[in-house]
Amino acid sequence: MKESLISVSKVTVALPGASLQRACKFLVVFCALHLSVVLIYYLSGANFDILQYFRRNQQSQLGYAQNYTISNGKLTAEISTIAKEELKNCPKTSPLLLGPQNIVFSIHVDLEDIRKTNPDVTEGGCYRPKNCKALQKVAIIIPFRNRDDHLKYWLHYMHPILQRQQLDYGVYVINQDGEKTFNRAKLLNIGYVESLKEYAYDCFVFSDVDLIPMDDRNTYTCFSQPRHLSAAMDKFGFGLPYNQYFGGVSALSMKQFLKINGFPNNYWGWGGEDDDIYNRIASRDMYISRPDTLTGRCRMIRHNKDNKNDPNPQRFDLLAHTRQTMNSDGINSLSYKVVSTKKFPLYTYITVDIGLPPS
């Protein structure tokens, strides 16, 4: 029998030719197997986000698509029979609305209780009506830092209201990483971009975490003009501090938001950014629509001033130049890094590094 000789230093090993061939074959098969396992894991991981996006968007078009699988790197959706029946549009005014409601912040609220009492809210704080097709897909965006207690009240009151309003919605809490100067409008811009990565939202509600409407007829949707939803805050004696006031809670359709190049990124600290947004809207020949002062009533949670959110001394100067700066400062110049995204049962929590104010 023919033999191969391999000599290593002084040791001489004799391998029969057939054994060497078998060993090589085994090695090749083993490597191929290993490679395919790694590839399958990689592909299923990489497809995860796409899968979620696909799942929510597909459901909204078809009703209920079920059983999504990935096999051989292909996404397959088995659509059940009910999915083929188009859901009728929800009515313009939801029949589930209750009208004025009492809002208090002295009660105890618990996340687990909120979850149990809102069983139809799905992971990440999403909901869509079961029996009709919502008229709008609404991303609710909350700029955030260190306000967990306020967020609990917001979730406690808002999930039931938004469901009664028959909205197809998702809740995005945009948390500013670190303890440096806060930038509300930049966080709102980020919420717009990040929410769109998940779902084809067409309306964006930008809400402070400490504001709750006192009447569910104040619908958190978009209108033919940018909407100011917190039109009568208790803090301002259930009125407006001035006519151009656009702070608190507002709603813009995608078209309206893009028409003003989103919001400014350069307002660091408290104040002015909402006035800048007002200026942008006015400069694009749009106007503010509002609910009447009874329906638009809302309560704010009283709290101490936030750390690192002192009044911005530059705001007056910035405000004087909105028309000149708005084309270059906005959604088209937004830059940030996502630090983490967490899907909680009642909301999606995105922590972002937004950088520092220019020195």
Round to whole Å and give the CA distance between 99 and 295: 8
- Please report how close the Cβ of residue 289 comes to ligand BGC at its closest, in angstroms: 18
Sheet with strand 297-300: strands edge to edge: 211-213, 297-300, 232-233
Between residues 219 and 230, which has the closer beta carbon with respect to ligand BGC? Answer: 230
Round to whole Å and give the CA distance between 133 and 147: 34
From 247, 262, 264, 269, residue interacting with ligand BGC (rule: CB under 6 A): 247
From 272, 291, 296, 330, residue interacting with ligand BGC (rule: CB under 6 A): 272
Tokens for 8, please give them: 């290593």
How many residues make contact with ligand BGC (CB under 6 A)?
A: 7
- Please report how close the Cβ of residue 81 comes to ligand BGC at its closest, in angstroms: 52
Round to whole Å and give the CA distance between 278 and 266: 15
Which residue type is seen at 263? Answer: F
Q: Quick check: helix, strand or coil at residue 226?
A: coil
Closest listed residue to residue 44, CA positions, set 68, 79, 64, 65: 68
Q: Considering only the stretches 119-127, 174-182, 267-275, 332-340, report the one whose residues sit in contact with ligand BGC under the rule CB under 6 A.
A: 267-275
Q: CB–CB of 273/329 below 8 Å?
A: no
Between residues 198 and 273, which has the closer beta carbon with respect to ligand BGC? Answer: 273
- Please report how close the Cβ of residue 84 comes to ligand BGC at its closest, in angstroms: 49
Q: Considering only the stretches 70-78, 196-204, 270-278, 325-333, report the one whose residues sit in contact with ligand BGC under the rule CB under 6 A.
A: 270-278
Q: Quick check: helix, strand or coil at residue 78?
A: strand
Ranges within 213-242 binding ligand BGC (CB under 6 A):
241
Q: CB–CB of 68/77 below 8 Å?
A: yes
Between residues 122 and 309, which has the closer beta carbon with respect to ligand BGC? Answer: 309
Nearest position to ligand BGC, beta carbon: 247
| Contact between 269 and ligand BGC per CB under 6 A | no
Q: CB–CB of 168/60 below 8 Å?
A: yes
Binding mask 274-313 for ligand BGC (x = CB under 6 A): xx--------------------------------------
Q: Which residues bind ligand BGC (CB under 6 A)?
A: 241, 247, 271-272, 274-275, 315
